[in-house]
Amino acid sequence: MTRQPISRPTLGALALIASIVLAGCNGAGSPSSSSAVASSSVEPSVAASAPSVAPSAGESATEPTESLPPFACTPSVTIAKTTDRAQITDVRVGTHDGYDRVVFEFASGLPDAVIEAALPPFYADPSGLELEVAGSAFLKVTMHGASKVSPDGGVTYSSPTNFEPGFDQLVQLIEGGDFEAVSTWYLGLDGGGCIRVLTLSAPTRLVIDIEH
């Protein structure tokens, strides 16, 4: 596919929302339900919501999902929370034919989340120190009510917070902060491109696909 250039669509840009049958299951192969969210380009501005769709079978955490909605180049995507506290339990990256994938997995329920374009400089939260992110275009993921640290001080995710896979589009995924139940991550991309955002359940996941 041809990479989409970085552009600044007008405030009237349309979000493409597709209700489809997705495939979703956990690592053990049990079926899961899922929903498709409007796709977006790496341009800052408006948001979109997510309709529910029927469950299907055959998708694991970072493997391709069948019957996916198309990519669209609208400005940003907003996800509504399904719980007041979403504990991060895993973060993964993967690459597939035509797109790269980022997965955030939660113990139970989704946080409020915004996926939008961003421009450097970036700063770590709460230190305020400048954060270097590789790439020529960038996405910022801000999740309110999400954390890898539980309210009692336990850690629900202690694996890497900096991925440098060097995929066709995804150059780097790095945590920008986890403070006061606000989790921030940056995606460094090679030249930008359109994205597709999915929400899956059993286990609960926020999935971001970046078109090659």
**pLDDT at 28 > cutoff 80:** no
What lies within 8 Å, CB to CB, of 189 at 6+ separation is 42, 135, 136, 137, 138, 139, 169, 170, 171, 210
The predicted model gives 135-162 an average pLDDT of: 97
Global pTM reads 0.74
Q: Is the pLDDT of residue 37 over 60?
A: no
Mean pLDDT over the full length of the chain: 78
How many degrees, rounded to 5, is the angle at CA 14 between CA 8 and CA 18?
Answer: 125
- In this prediction, residues 57-82 reach a mean pLDDT of 73
Q: Which range scores top for mean pLDDT: 3-12, 22-31, 49-58, 94-103?
A: 94-103
Distance (Å, whole) CA 108 – CA 101: 21
Cα 183 from Cα 145, distance rounded (Å) = 8
* Least confident stretch, 33-37, 93-97, 135-139, 149-153: 33-37
**Which are the contacts of 158, defined by CB distance < 8 A and separation ≥ 6?**
148
